[in-house]
């Protein structure tokens, strides 16, 4: 029996073919129709449907670059299954260089969305019904918030077995098993039985080669694990990722200039000096020490911080429970993120 075409809106994509489909979202005041762009690669043979999305937060452009490179690489004639790529979900925010939608809503807090809801709610609804619910598995690409950098990392729900397995295939520097945010895409996908990986890498509004390369190669390795493509043996090799379930934010002990000795990617020992915060006017500075041993998975890229601002994000690698200061123990959170460092 021959394979059926993949139909999205009124476009039928034949097996072995690809199409760029634009789903209308809303008309702006200037009269332009804003679209949700979807690339469909419909493989020659039957297989899983994988959805890749980027820029749900409009200023997180690192995933847009990963998606762009992926689109150029995939050949539907050599593909098993179907690949859906949405290079920019929040086109409104992307154009404005903003994380949010024009109504200041966060798209990643707007799921499951409603057809007749606010702009954010309607966009969430379109993305969910036209893309996510058509997929068997999904990878959503993000970056740190503005003025922060994230070491390339995969965040996955510990109970999502297939996702944990595919996180290892992706093989980022670290896999973080983290709780779900209410109304996030990941929470929705989980509730609907669609497992997904969340890739966090780099800094909002910037591109860096490591984030792009690790993200693109990770997606290709996941596709190979799902038997959608085959890869050259050298592309399959990656060091075994670290794994963590708990992390802690180290905060600036005072206002001042940031001088870090250690940044994302460095392993630090508990009580090790990781940098200092220096007074910009007087010759005074305060040391910053690592409260736990672990891997630095995020750091501030703003050169001046106020007291209490997030400076470093350390993922705990070992199990130091029991001999930690109760205050540090309490700050080691299973929910990995504070309000400004949002998935
Ligand atoms: Zn994000």
Residues 207 and 266 occupy one common structural domain? no
At residue 131's C-alpha, the angle toward residues 98 and 4, to 5°, is 150
Longest dimension (CA), the chain: 78
- pLDDT-derived band at 320 (thresholds 50, 70, 90) equals low
Distance CA 232, CA 226 (A): 15
Judge if 84 and 192 occupy the same domain. yes
Residues 228 and 286 in one domain: no
Give 168 Cα–ligand 1 centroid separation in angstroms. Answer: 21
Q: Nearest 5 degrees, angle CA 106-CA 334-CA 196? A: 55
Query: Average pLDDT, stretch 97-118?
Result: 91
Q: Which of 227, 242, 257 is the last residue of a domain?
A: 242
- Asked whether residue 342 is assigned to any structural domain, the reply reads no
pLDDT for residue 319 is more than 70: no
Which of 46-55, 190-199, 289-298 is the least confident region? 190-199
Q: How far is the CA of 137 from the centre of ligand 1 (A)?
A: 19
Tokens of 274: 């990781």
Round to whole Å and give the CA distance between 245 and 334.
6
Task: Give a yes or no: residue 1 inside a domain.
Answer: no
User: Ligand 1 centroid vs 342 CA: distance in angstroms?
Assistant: 6
State the distance from the centre of ligand 1 to the C-alpha of 84, rounded, in angstroms. Answer: 19
Find the 211 Cα to ligand 1 centroid distance in Å.
Answer: 14
Considering the domain architecture, whether residues 220 and 257 belong to the same structural domain is answered as no
Q: Do 196 and 271 reside in the same domain of the chain?
A: no
pLDDT at 334 over 60: no
Say yes or no: 281 and 215 in one domain: no
- Retrieve residue 79's tokens: 């593909």
Same domain, yes or no, for 255 and 236? Answer: no
CATH code for the domain in which residue 149 is found: 3.40.630.10
Ligand 1 centroid from CA 1, angstroms? 42
Residue 75 is predicted with a pLDDT of 97
- Does residue 34 belong to any structural domain of this protein? yes
Residues ≥6 apart with Cβ < 8 Å to 234? none
How far does the centroid of ligand 1 lie from the alpha carbon of residue 251, in Å?
21
CATH number, domain at 285?
2.40.50.100
Tell me the CA–centroid distance for residue 203 and ligand 1, in Å.
Answer: 10
Among 97-106, 112-121, 186-195, 265-274, the least confident range: 186-195
3-class state of residue 79 by DSSP = coil
Element (H, E) at 286: strand 285-289
Give pLDDT, residue 310: 92
Taking 80 as the threshold, does the pLDDT of residue 18 lie above it?
yes
230, pLDDT greater than 90: yes
Residue where one domain finishes, among candidates 216, 242, 268: 242
**């489909």: which residue's tokens?**
21
Q: What is the mean pLDDT of residues 326-335?
A: 68
Query: Which of helix, strand or coil describes residue 247?
Result: strand
73 Cα–ligand 1 center, Å: 25
Residues 285 and 164 in one domain: no
Residues 56 and 28 in one domain: yes
* H or E segment to which residue 6 belongs: strand 6-8
Compute, in angstroms, the gap from residue 143 CA to the centroid of ligand 1: 6
CB atoms within 10 A of CB 233: 6
Residues 114 and 76 in one domain: yes
Same domain, 131 and 201: yes
In sequence order, the 6+-apart residues with CB closer than 8 A to the CB of 93 are 55, 57, 58, 59, 99, 100, 101, 107
* 74 lies in the same domain as 219: yes
pLDDT at 236: 79
Residue 131: pLDDT over 70: yes
What is the whole-number distance in angstroms between the Cα of residue 112 and the centre of ligand 1?
17
On the question of pLDDT at 103 being above 90, the answer is: no
- Of 4-13, 124-133, 165-174, 319-328, minimum mean pLDDT range: 319-328
Tens digit of each residue's pLDDT (9 = 90 or more) over 240-264:
999 999 899 999 999 999 999 999 9
Residues in the chain: 343
Model pLDDT, residue 180: 76
More confident residue, 334 or 56: 56
Whether pLDDT at 336 is above 80: no
Kindly tell me if the per-residue pLDDT of 289 is higher than 90.
yes
pLDDT confidence bin for 192, thresholds 50/70/90: confident
Asked whether residue 263 is domain-assigned, the answer is yes
Cα 155 to middle of ligand 1, angstroms: 12
Q: Render the burial of 19-56: b for 16+ CB within 10 Å, e for the rest.
A: bebebebeeeeeeeebebebbbbbbbeebbbbbbbbbb
Percent of residues, the chain, with pLDDT higher than 90: 76
Give the domain extent around 119: 6-242
By DSSP bridging, strand 294-300 and strand 267-268 are antiparallel
Q: For 137-150, what is each residue's pLDDT tens digit?
A: 999 999 998 999 99
- pLDDT attached to residue 241: 95
Please, are residues 148 and 310 in contact by the beta-carbon 8 Å criterion? yes
* CA pair distance 20, 53, nearest whole angstrom: 14
Residue 261 falls inside a structural domain? yes
What domain count does the chain have? 2
Residue 154 lies in a domain: yes
Q: What is the pLDDT of residue 321?
A: 59
Q: How far is the CA of 96 from the centre of ligand 1 (A)?
A: 15
What local confidence, expressed as pLDDT, does residue 328 receive? 76
In a domain, 122, yes or no: yes
Position 132 pLDDT exceeds 80 = yes
Give CA separation, 109 vs 35, 83, 85, 185, 203, in Å: 20, 25, 21, 8, 20
Token representation of residue 333: 């959170």
Residue 218, domain member (yes or no):
yes
Name all contacts of 178-184 with Cβ < 8 Å and 24+ positions apart: 178/245, 178/334, 178/335, 178/336, 178/337, 178/343, 179/334, 179/335, 179/336, 181/108, 181/109, 181/337, 181/342, 181/343, 182/109, 183/108, 183/109, 183/110, 183/111, 184/108, 184/109, 184/111, 184/343
Say if CB 190 and CB 156 are below 8 A apart.
Answer: no
CA atoms within 13 A on the CB side of 297: 33
pLDDT at 217 > cutoff 80: yes
Give the residue from 192, 226, 242 where a domain finishes.
242
């Amino acid at each position: 029996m021959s394979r059926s075409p993949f139909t999205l809106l009124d476009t039928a994509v034949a097996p072995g073919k690809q199409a760029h489909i634009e789903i209308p979202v809303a008309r702006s005041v200037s009269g332009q129709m804003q679209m949700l762009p979807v690339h469909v690669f419909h493989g020659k043979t039957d297989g899983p449907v994988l959805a890749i999305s980027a820029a749900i937060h409009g200023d997180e452009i690192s995933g847009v670059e990963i998606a762009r490179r992926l689109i150029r690489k995939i050949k539907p004639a050599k593909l098993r299954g179907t690949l859906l790529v949405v290079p920019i979900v929040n086109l409104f925010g992307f154009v404005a260089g903003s994380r949010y939608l024009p109504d200041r809503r966060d798209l990643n807090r707007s799921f499951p969305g409603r057809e007749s809801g606010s702009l954010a709610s309607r966009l969430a609804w379109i993305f969910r019904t036209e893309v996510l619910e058509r997929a068997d598995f999904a990878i959503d690409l993000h970056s740190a918030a503005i003025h922060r950098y994230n070491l390339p990392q995969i965040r996955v729900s510990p109970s999502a077995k297939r996702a944990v397995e595919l996180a290892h295939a992706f093989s980022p520097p670290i896999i973080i098993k983290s709780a779900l945010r209410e109304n996030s895409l990941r929470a929705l996908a989980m509730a609907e039985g669609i497992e997904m990986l969340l890739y966090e890498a780099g800094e909002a509004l910037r591109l860096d080669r490591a984030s792009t390369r690790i993200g693109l190669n990770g997606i290709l390795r996941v596709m190979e694990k799902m038997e959608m493509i085959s890869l050259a043996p050298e592309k399959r090799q990656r060091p075994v990722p670290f794994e963590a379930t708990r992390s802690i934010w180290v905060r600036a002990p005072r206002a001042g200039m940031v001088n870090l000795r250690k940044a994302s990617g460095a392993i630090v020992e508990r009580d090790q000096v990781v940098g200092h915060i220096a007074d910009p006017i007087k010759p005074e500075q305060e040391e910053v020490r690592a409260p736990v041993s672990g891997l630095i998975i995020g750091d501030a890229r703003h050169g001046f911080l106020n007291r209490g601002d997030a400076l470093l994000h350390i993922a705990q690698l070992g199990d130091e429970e029991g001999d930690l200061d109760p205050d540090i123990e309490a700050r080691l959170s299973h929910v990995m993120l504070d309000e400004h460092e949002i998935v």
